[in-house]
Amino acid sequence: MSDISEIKSLLLKHDQAHILRFWDRLSDNEREELCQDVRETNIPEVCSYFKRASDSMTDSQEKLDDRLKPIPSHLYGAVSRTPAELLATYEHEGLLQISEGRVGVLLMAGGQGTRLGSSNPKGMYDVGLPSHKSLYQIQAERIRRLTRLAKEKTGKEGRITWIIMTSEHTMEPTLNFFQKHKYFGLDKNDVILFEQGLLPCFTFDGKIILDKQHKISRAPDGNGGLYRALRDRKILDEIENRGIQYLHAHSVDNILVKVADPVFIGYCVKKGADCAAKVVQKSSPTEALGVVCNVDGKYQVVEYSEITLKTAEMRNNDGSLTFRAGNICNHFFTADFLKKIANKHERELKLHVAKKKIPYVDCDGNLCIPEKPNGIKMEKFVFDVFPFSSNLVVWEVNREDEFSALKNADSAGKDCPSTARNDIYSLHERFIREAGGDFSCNETIVCEISPLVSYAGEGLEKVVGGQVFKSPLHLKSDDENCFTNGNSH
């Protein structure tokens, strides 16, 4: 589409001719940049997105109470309700798949640590553990430990491919960070970085906003842009070429995440699932977590605002909330399901609209900063693929074991570095005690166990059994020191 007449015709057809408003003022380089922007934007597709988004904004926001059903029990497993023998069976299946190289991890890491007071990618953040490890390092070391466990169980050396979705702003610093730290001991060929896509910003009346006279204003398309990016960046081809059949997808900001959790993977494989959600029980009816449930025969995540308080407060005979499956952005997909979504259903995914104050170029070519929302940004959510699943299952885990989000500065008092740090300390203290160790003090205990020593508390008996420790305690592996970001104690 190098011919400007073709570009003019295309923009005119979709009522976007204003994009070329400043053509006569532009240098040759600027003209080429603008043409490239138009080529990359897929004008027909994004204009159709705007129409769908606009229609959704005008739809009445009806409550979904009468259309809602909980997940049926045969599709809703839980760690707390599963016998130890069956959990061991699931774990063995997961480790077997890992040893065969059939497991990959999809990490959604496009966010920056702005709310944490950092301009770096959130995955680089150090919450202040004794080791001063970043989220990236903690997760990398969990992967390393897991491949060792798989080999110990099966005798076969497998590998986990770590596929990391960054954003336009986090790609370069993330890559530099991994290179600087030698991929935290992972084979760099098993770490794949790619950028999520962007969608143009629109005015309320459907005009694409210009950020500069020769530049379209664009914003990340949300974590649901994962599927489009997997296709467009040829990552699906890489997944197929590597023989990966199962993928664990999660966000970067959960410090307790069990990366490539073999129990979760084994449960899903045994159930023949093509898609799954790991959930925690909502702490209260009004907790701001969406719930996985059935709406009109299809599974989806329903936000708290979409149901009445009466429905949110409904309880079962055992006292548990009827709609309790709190979504934590932690999912399982088969590779075949991802291909089906990317190639067949991606354009059908629900569009979520955010009204924003978007800087824009006015008719005279001046950059203006609006004082109130003047346009929309569109994004997709990763869980919006649930309705396209032919066999979705849910796996409920204990919050104190697996979910501690890092979203806010310490001043917020929740989902912040302090809570993340303390949740690690609490979990690891429990690991020590369950393995036969003890502490000599009763006050708050500072305890960190390197993921290279133990993935989920296993193998600690021979390390700590019968011993009494002082706080702070930092158990680390002999082969991790060269990768640590800061000083260890």
Contacts of 286 (CB under 8 A, 6+ apart): 304, 309, 312
Instruction: Tell me the HSE value of 344 on the side-chain side, using a 13 A CA sphere.
Output: 9
**CB 124, CB 113: distance < 8 Å:** yes
* Residue whose token pair is 């976007």: 16
Distance, in Å, from the CA atom of 391 to the CA atom of 381, rounded to the nearest integer, reads 20
Listed by start position, the domains of the chain span: 60-415
What is the biggest distance separating any 2 CA atoms in the chain, rounded to whole angstroms?
80
Residue 489: how many other CB atoms lie within 10 Å: 12
With the CA atoms of 13, 18, 22 and 26 taken in that order, what torsion angle do they form, in degrees rounded to the nearest 10? -50
Residue 18 per-residue DSSP state? G
What's the CATH architecture for 60-415? Alpha-Beta Complex (3.90)
Q: Is the peptide bond before 200 cis (omega within 30 degrees of 0)?
A: no
pLDDT tens track of the chain, all 489 residues?
458 999 999 999 999 999 999 999 999 999 999 999 999 898 998 999 898 888 777 665 567 888 999 999 999 999 999 999 999 999 999 999 999 999 999 999 998 888 898 889 999 999 999 999 999 999 999 999 999 999 999 999 889 999 999 998 899 999 999 999 999 999 999 999 999 989 999 999 999 999 999 999 999 899 999 999 999 999 999 999 999 999 999 999 999 999 999 999 999 999 999 999 999 999 999 998 999 999 999 999 998 888 899 999 999 999 999 999 999 999 999 999 999 999 999 988 988 888 999 999 999 999 999 999 999 999 999 999 999 999 999 999 999 999 999 999 999 999 999 999 999 999 999 999 999 999 998 778 999 999 999 999 999 999 999 999 999 999 999 876 543 333 333
Q: Which of 369, 451, 406, 360 is nearest to 149 (CA)?
A: 451
Print burial letters for 168-184: b (CB count within 10 Å at least 16), e (below 16).
ebbbebbeebbeebebb
**CB 122, CB 235: distance < 8 Å:** no
Angle between helices 84-99 and 262-271 in degrees, nearest 10: 90
Q: pTM higher than 0.85, yes or no?
A: yes
